[in-house]
Structures are given as structure tokens and as C-alpha cells.
Amino acid sequence: MSTCSVSKGCFVFKPNSNKRKRSSAADYFSKGNNNLGNSELRLDTCLLLWKQIKSETEQLQEDLNKNLFDNLIKFLRQSHLDFKKKKAEWICRMKSNEIPTAAVVLGVNVTDHELTIKSLSEVLRDDVTPFVVSLKAKECPGIKQLLQKLIIQLMGCDVELDSSEEEECPKNLPGRVRCSVTSLTNWYKNVIKKTDTESPCKKRTFSSRHWETPPVVIIFKDMESFTTKVLQDFIIMSSHCIREFPLVLIFGIATSPMIIHKLLPHSVSSLLCIELFQSLSSKEHLTKVIDKLLLTSQFPFKISEKVLQVLTNIFLYHDFSVHNFVKGFQLSLLEHFYSHPLSVLCCEVQESEKRVQLLSHNQFENIRRLPSFRRFVESQEVEKQAALLTDDECLKETTQALLKDLYSYHEHYFPILRCLHAFTSSLPKYPLGKQIRELHCACLERSVWEREEYESAMQLVRMLAKDELVAILEKCVDILISSSAKCLRKALEKLERYVHLLNNLEEANGDQEKSISSLEELQKKTDLYHLQKTLLEMKESRRVKKLTPFEMLRFEIVDFIDGLVRNYLTPAEMQTLHEVMYFSAANTIREHLNATPRAALHTALNNPYFYLKDDALKCGAESISGAAPDICIAYKLHLECGRLINLVDWLEAFSTVVTAAGNTDSTVKNQTDDIIHARFIRAVSELEFLGFIKPTKQKTDHVARLTWGSC
């Protein structure tokens, strides 16, 4: 098709009829299999499960932020609720020109701040005021840009207008407004004035939930990143107009509230009426998220101990971002449903029973290949083994029963895990970890009762005081009451009985009385023989001391808890068909989330086939393909050089590789020398940009190597 024409024109090309059909997301799930229905069902199950998980995490985020947002709204109400009706009193309350300022300490997890600020803005717009502005430091390098952003966002506020007023809106466009605090004050007065003077039939209101005189709230998302000059100028300008319209500043702080006084001199910070607010720490937030997503039988999808360790290590040692943790959990979910054909059974127990009925013979063969199922078959009788390996109907019934057992395992596992954590979380030095996620990882790794830390924890539990033991048992009772497992009802009744016995237990003070009487006898006058005899009797009585009723009951309680642990906290890998629900490819998650740019860059340049998947790029480790990208050819050639690289020799080698598979005619070669030279210069420039080489003053026609074996 040609578009050559003497005059300018419009050229229409009809679409190709044999155009390749676009692949759907379910096609990628098939991984080369022809069972498209299974891949579509896996994709739908994955999306539905992620939708539920996302909804749960968002609801959790709202619940955790509710206290912070309520306190901020209370602060706004105290600052500007009576601005219109009692303006004189308000001026007296706000000393001189002080601006109400909320310093919100959000923590070092900067990547989560955007979600918190967004939620705060939505809450303020819904319940307090439509005039909410969010500013970033990179958007406000100067005071002029800050005022522009401020006025632009305020003019775009959601205010209900009549049709007659919509015609006058262009006069208030930001482009026609002078960027100053005075114009902002005049704009706010006009808005409030129109609201007060309109007739009831054409009443203009912001919202039924908004305050009568809504304040202007300005949120500085990253207060530490703003330049001192910009903040100073804006605060000083705003302080002169604070009596004219209600203004509130909210500083988002990642480090410490002291940063306000470090950035602003006393003459400026004294113009702020600052109140401090503290958000929930990221570690506590992570504990809540893990409790909602992992330590529950609500969601069938689970992750193994190694995957959980990868996600928590990234959280603790990199960013403290709960948002990134949830994204890593989402990636694990996607990888599980993508890579495992039997993940189609990772759903509710009733739905899984229906899906087992629809499994094909190939899918039953996949079940037979599972390591956990092989162990299960080896533990059965010979006749049963033959039926499981050959008869699909027998395997279908067995699979349904095994999936029920797996769901029952989760219903029992998590309540007992919480009970064990209640006993061990308050022990000295935390032998099994302070956080429940640490105990969960220990239980997933291997049998927890085989650990030395478990034995030391049980010894410490056997020395708990009565009040401590009663408090822990009451926690365990509450945990089991909220559990839906029917098999734990007997355990609940027994724990309630133990609490009742401890509360009604009368301490046996016989031994104490004996010891007191012995001391009283010692205080009397006696000879050396009787004194020695009395001391020996006291020592012997201590050696063969009888247990008190409380101590006997305490030992019985600890033995009962130990029995529950051994019955219900077996590792998930010991459960048959655990591969259906548990994702264990920790290396895959680590490769995606723990980026290693140096290794990835070396792999891409040294072996471009690894990423491009082009058969023409296949070659040995020591050979160089002429079809490879220019930067890859230049990179592999520079690996053969020493610390200094001669550019002329490098160019000749590059030209030899590029033209090796091409035309050897001398005329064509002369014509392409300039092109090859240009390609070489571009490849060398790219390597210099990536940091592999640098110019050197030792020799003008040489460059110096910077990485990998420079000598």
C-alpha cells in the first residue's frame, strides 16, 4: 500500500481479513493445553477470589483509619465550626493569625501514604467540605506553582449550580483568576455569599452532609519534600487572610513531627496552631492484614511458609509497605492459578465437590502425580491402591473426601494456632515469636512440638501464676466460641471447666503454714543438735514437696493444650492434596519482587534469547550471534578485553560480527561502513549510559571497563 501523493490527503486502509486473533487472558492460563474450559474456569475463580480479598483489605483499611479520620474531623470541627455565626469568638479562640494545622505522622511506608491521603480526601469531601486540595512537592517547586495548583483544584470543586449560574462559570476559570491568596479569599466570599442570599426555591447548597461554612483544607502529602521557602511564603501569606476564610493545613509526615520546626523558623512555625495525630504503625497494620487474609478459613487459597517469609522479609527489610505486601499476595494468587491445573479446585467446599464431578481423565492423572497423593496411596491397602490408580470413579469419591478433610483441617488449625499464641506471646524472650505470623511459619515448616523452643515455652507456661493462666484461658474460650468447628466444642467445654475450677480453687496453704511454724520454732532457744535436726527436716520436706491443687490443675491444663497442638497443628505439607490450595513457589515470587537488576542486565546482554525468545539468537556461551542487538554484540566483545579497551579494535570486531552473515561484496561493504560505525557508536554510548565503561584520559582512543572482571 502506497501513500505517495502530490497533494496532502487522507488515506484509508481496509483491515486485513486474515489478521491474527487476539489472545484472551484465559488462553495464557491454558499454557499450551487444549482444555480451554478449565483455563477459563481457573481465571474466573482467580478473579472472583481476588475480588473478595481486595474487598476485605479495603474494608480493613477503612476500619483501621476510622479512628484517625474521626479525630481529624473533630479537630476541624473545633477549629472552624463556629466561623460564620460566632466569628468574633472564633477570632478570640484562634490567637492572632494562627492557622489550624494537623500534623499527621504516617510512618516511613511512603508507598502507602497515597492510599491514606486519598481515603482522607474522600471522607472530608463527603462529610465536611467540598474544598479539599492535595499538593505534592514535585508539583510545587515555587510559590507561584503552589498557588496555581491550589486555585485550579478549588475551582473544580463539586458545587451544585443552577442553569443560570453555569453561564457565569467561565468567569471563574483558573486561567482568568490571578494566582494570589487575595483572589482565593474573594472567591470563597462569593461562594458563601451566593449561598446565603439565594431564595429558598433556588437554594444553592454544597451538600446536606457538608458544614454550613465549609473550611478550605489543604493537604501537603509529603511535607518533608517541600522546600523551606515555599512553605514559609505560603504560611505567611495565608496567616494574613486567616480571619477572612477558614483555612486548615494538614501535613503528611513520614519521619517525625520535629521536621516542622527543622524546616520552618520560629517566626513562621508560631503562625501555626499545630495538633499531632498518629496513624497505625505499618507492623500492626500488617498483623491485621495477615490475620484477615491468611489466618482464616474464609479464603481457600493459602501460601507456604517460604512464600510468607519472602513477603515478610521484603516488608521488614525494604519498604514497610502493606500495599506492596498485598500486591505480592495477589501475585502469588495469580501464579498459583496460572501454573497449577488443579487450582480449579481451590474454591468453596460445596463448589469443589461439583467441580470434581466434571474433572477429565487427564486431570485425574494430575491428581495421581501429586506427591501428597502418592504418600496417601502408599498408606492404603493393596486393593485400594489399585482402585485409586486405575479407577477414576473411585478416585473421584476419594478426592471429594480428601478435600473435605483439608477444609476441616483449616477450621481446626487456625483456632488452635491462636490459642497457642495466646499462651506463648507473653512469655519471656518469646521462644516461639512475639507475632502470630512467626508462630504460623514455625507450624508450617515442621511439627512445632519437635522444636526446642516449644519445650522451653511449655516449661515457662507451667510456671504461670493463677491470674495469668485464667486470663489466657478466657482468651482461648473467646477464640473457640467464635470458631465454627464442631469438633472443638468439647475442647471449649473443657476450657470453660478449667476456668471455673481456677476461679473457685482455694489455695492450699498447708506447706506455707508448716514453713512458718518451723521458722517460729527456729526462733526459740534451742541447742545446736536440735537446730541441725530441724534444718535437715526442712530440707528433706522441700525435696519431697507435694504439689498443691493449683499446681496439679496447671499441669493438667498444659497437658491438655499440648494435646490440642499435637492433634491439630500438623504441618500443611502432611495434608493430602495440599498442593491444590497452597502456593509454594517462593523462588518465582522472589524473582518477581526482589529485583536483581545487575544479574538481569547481564543475562539480557549476554544471552538475549532468554528474554526475546527468538531462535535466531540461539548460540553458545562463547560465540556471538550476528542477529543479536547491537548492544549485546558490543557487550560480549567488551567482556573479552582487559581494563582498557581500544575503540578501533572494538569497532573492527563489531564490524566483523555484524557483516559475517551479510553480503561480502566490497561495494556494499563500503556503503555500509558508515551505518555500522553509527550503530557501533550508539551501542558504546548505551553501554556508557548503563555504567559498563567510561572515558579515560590515559589513552585518548581507549575506554575503561567498570564492571565484571576489570583488571
Mean pLDDT across the stretch 471-477? 94
Global pTM?
Answer: 0.79
Candidates 313, 308, 374, 363; CA nearest to 340 is: 363
Q: What distance separates the 2 farthest-apart alpha carbons in the chain?
A: 134
Q: What pLDDT, in 10s, does the model give residues 534-591?
A: 777 766 666 556 778 888 999 999 999 999 999 999 999 999 999 999 999 999 999 8
Looking at residue 443, its amino acid is C
Long-range contacts of the stretch 115-119 (C-beta < 8 A, 24+): 115/61, 115/323, 116/65, 116/279, 117/219, 117/221, 117/252, 119/61, 119/62, 119/65, 119/69
Q: Using alpha carbons, select from 98, 65, 71 the residue that is nearest to residue 277.
A: 71
Is residue 8 over pLDDT 50?
A: yes
Residue 699 confidence (pLDDT)? 82
Q: How far is CA 151 from CA 120, 177, 188, 192, in A?
A: 20, 8, 11, 16
Phi, psi of 263 (to 5 degrees): -80, -35
pLDDT tens by residue, 250-294: 999 999 999 999 999 999 999 998 999 999 899 999 999 999 999
DSSP state of 280: P
Domain 597-705 indexed as CATH 1.10.10: yes
Task: Return the DSSP state at 303.
Answer: E
On the question of pLDDT at 180 being above 60, the answer is yes
Domain segments of the chain as ranges: 48-280, 285-583, 597-705
> For residues 332 and 538, is the Cβ–Cβ distance under 8 A?
no
Interval 364-390: pLDDT, tens: 999 999 999 999 999 999 999 999 999
Q: Rounded CA gap, 638 and 661, in Å?
A: 21
* 278 membership: H or E segment, kind and range: strand 272-278
pLDDT of residue 85: 47
CB atoms inside a 10 Å sphere around CB 110: 17
More confident residue, 552 or 620: 552
Report pLDDT for 486: 79
Instruction: Give the model's pLDDT for residue 166.
Output: 39
Asked: is 48-280 a CATH 3.30.559.10 domain? The reply is: no
Q: Where are the beta strands (DSSP E) in 517-653?
A: 582-583, 644-646
Task: Go through 11-25 and write b for each residue having 16 or more CB atoms within 10 A of its CB, e for each that does not.
Answer: eeeeeeeeeeeeeee
The partner residues of 247 in beta bridges, in order of sequence, read: 216
Tell which wins on pLDDT, 64 or 536.
64
Closest CA relative to residue 624, chosen from 615, 614, 634: 634
Q: Give the pLDDT confidence score for residue 28 in this predicted structure.
A: 67
Helix (H) or strand (E) holding 438: helix 436-445
Q: Where residue 624 falls among pLDDT bands split at 50, 70, 90?
A: confident
Helices marked H in 258-321 — which ranges? 258-263, 266-269, 282-293, 305-314
Mean pLDDT for the chain? 82
Return the pLDDT at 88. Answer: 47
